Amino acid sequence: MPFVSVNPATGRRLAVHRAHSRARVAAAVDRAQAAYLDWRGLTLARRARVIRAIARRLRAEQETLAQLLTAEVGKPIAQARAEVGKSAMVCDYYARHAARYLAPERPLGAPRGTRVVCEPLGLILAIMPWNFPFWQVFRAAAPALMAGNGFLLKPAPNTAGCALAIEKIFAEADAPRGLLTVLLAEVDAVPGLVADARIRGVTLTGSTRAGRSVAALAGAAMKPGVFELGGSDPYLVLHDADVAEAARICAHSRLINSGQSCIGAKRMIVVRSVLREFERELTARFAAARTGDPTDLATGVGPLARGDLRDTLHAQVRRSVARGAKLLLGGRPLPGPGNFYAPTVLTGVRPGMPAYDEELFGPVAAIIPVRDEAEALAVANDSSYGLGAAIFTRDRRRARRLAGQIEAGLVFVNDFVRSAPALPFGGVKQSGHGRELGAGGIRAFVNLKTLSGA
């Protein structure tokens, strides 16, 4: 099947890219392997020069790339520009810090003359989603490449244009041909790619279902993997929170990328003593969010990326309301062209409802009332996911104590969960395993080799 890009704001077809044949995929892997064998022999300083050149090209082409991102995904243009800029930032970060992260170490208590060195593994297969088609690629590619690996990118079908633009950026930066190679491969090509002896690791950002499938393939082939999967992040609003500020932050987090973010504020767990105030404040924020043309700087909420995603979201909202959730705002697809969905606020959410049990990918807030802090913690952990979480309280000691008990990979206090180049990013439970970014991100795909007497 072809890779088809459709503008989700208008329904207009943007481009049709032919899927790569098996022969073309095989030739691409051959080319990537040749590039890797040369790249791994370069010094860190020479690798850094290439990665910095890529960052410069990203900044030079920021507006063009942002417009493409908005056209393919429907992301509001200001957020699209920020995503491209952040992608350049992560390149600069690893170009600057890779030497320190990869420096030889002498383990504590090790015999004299013993050290541990970091060596590249080989080609890394990256299976990437559509919601952040630049940032999610570069946060995996920049550390992997600085560690000396090669990078094979299999994008989502609806963001093939963004992936091919990344490949072009590498060429314009004079990166070795094939160092980052885009594979417009069908899903049925993935098992063969994972099994290929030249591919030494797998990184995937996507659904838990996709992650389980690919992780099983990687496990069977004895290959390391990093899996950043779904999330249903709890945001705890406690009795002593600044409620207006908590509502502002929750609304901002939930509406990033029109609600299509794995670390958005999915479950807002609110102590009953501040529930009504929070409902009023959050509903007002959602009502004020401007939904419409994502190329307009005034737009805060764009369309969902595909029509089937809107259908799934609406079905989840309808089932939640049918099972007793109260609809405070929205709850419907918007008429006219495009995959627009009204910003929606549900309250009275409880177990057995999709808004409680499942990940909702769109501009829908789920408010879960609780008696007190203890119940808030129990509800926060009552999920198969464990990616991010946030706590709103004026008591820093309480926040630290609760943060230590929440089952998540990231916990933010009085702020929204976000990724940054220096901070390890990843989850627990069904949100995946392994870490991107920070030291863990660059060491995810290296051979930690012990040398003794050398």
Q: Do 47 and 107 reside in the same domain of the chain?
A: yes
Q: Do 146 and 253 reside in the same domain of the chain?
A: no
Q: Do 242 and 213 reside in the same domain of the chain?
A: no
The answer as to whether 110 is a domain residue is: yes
Q: Is the pLDDT of residue 454 over 80?
A: no
Q: Do 386 and 445 reside in the same domain of the chain?
A: no
Nearest to 144, CA basis, from 101, 84, 194, 191: 101
What are the CA-CA distances from residue 211 to residues 118, 142, 255, 409 (Å)? 27, 22, 25, 17
CA dihedral 357, 363, 369, 372 (to 10 degrees): 90
pLDDT given for residue 301 in this prediction? 99
> What three-state secondary structure class fits 241?
coil
The answer as to whether 144 is a domain residue is: yes
What are the CA-CA distances from residue 369 to residues 153, 245, 274, 346 (Å)? 43, 18, 10, 11
The answer as to whether 53 is a domain residue is: yes
The answer as to whether 146 is a domain residue is: yes
- As for how many domains the chain has, the answer is 2
What mean pLDDT is predicted for residues 257-278? 99
Q: Do 263 and 200 reside in the same domain of the chain?
A: no
CATH classification of the domain holding 258: 3.40.309.10
**Taking the alpha carbons of 282, 259, 70, 143 in that order, is the dihedral positive or negative?**
positive
Please list, in sequence order, all residues whose beta carbon lies within 8 angstroms of the beta carbon of residue 192, skipping any fewer than 6 positions away: none
Q: Do 161 and 241 reside in the same domain of the chain?
A: no
User: Catalytic annotation on 118?
Assistant: no
Q: Do 218 and 343 reside in the same domain of the chain?
A: no
Q: Do 259 and 120 reside in the same domain of the chain?
A: no
Q: Do 64 and 209 reside in the same domain of the chain?
A: yes
Give the residue numbers spanning the domain of 119: 3-229+431-452
CATH classification of the domain holding 58: 3.40.605.10
User: Catalytic annotation on 228?
Assistant: yes
The answer as to whether 174 is a domain residue is: yes
What mean pLDDT is predicted for residues 25-52? 98
Q: For 60-88, how does the pLDDT look when each residue is reduced to its tens digit (9 = 90+)?
A: 999 999 999 999 999 999 999 999 999 99
Q: Do 45 and 27 reside in the same domain of the chain?
A: yes
The answer as to whether 426 is a domain residue is: no
What mean pLDDT is predicted for residues 140-153? 99
Question: Using an 8 Å Cβ cutoff, are 250 and 234 in contact?
Answer: no
| Tokens at 1, concatenated | 């099947």
Q: Is the pLDDT of residue 392 over 80?
A: yes
% of the chain surpassing 70 pLDDT: 100
Please list, in sequence order, all residues whose beta carbon lies within 8 angstroms of the beta carbon of residue 254, skipping any fewer than 6 positions away: 264, 265, 266, 363, 364, 365
- pLDDT-based confidence at 405, cuts 50/70/90? very high
Q: Which residue has the tokens 């395993």?
A: 433
Q: For 197-224, how does the pLDDT look when each residue is reduced to its tens digit (9 = 90+)?
A: 999 999 999 999 999 999 999 999 999 9
Q: Do 29 and 122 reside in the same domain of the chain?
A: yes
Q: Is the pLDDT of residue 453 over 90?
A: no
- pLDDT-based confidence at 1, cuts 50/70/90? confident
The CB density around residue 405, as the number of other CB atoms within 10 Å, is 11
The CB density around residue 401, as the number of other CB atoms within 10 Å, is 13
Catalytic residue among 228, 281, 358, 373: 228
Q: For 322-341, how does the pLDDT look when each residue is reduced to its tens digit (9 = 90+)?
A: 999 999 999 999 999 999 99
Q: Is the pLDDT of residue 272 over 90?
A: yes
Catalytic residue among 262, 279, 359, 407: 262
The answer as to whether 140 is a domain residue is: yes
The answer as to whether 29 is a domain residue is: yes
Helix ranges restricted to H, 256-391: 275-288, 307-322, 354-357, 373-381
Question: Using an 8 Å Cβ cutoff, are 166 and 180 in contact?
Answer: yes
- pLDDT-based confidence at 418, cuts 50/70/90? very high
Q: Do 255 and 381 reside in the same domain of the chain?
A: yes
Strands (E), 250-305: 267-271
What mean pLDDT is predicted for residues 49-60? 99
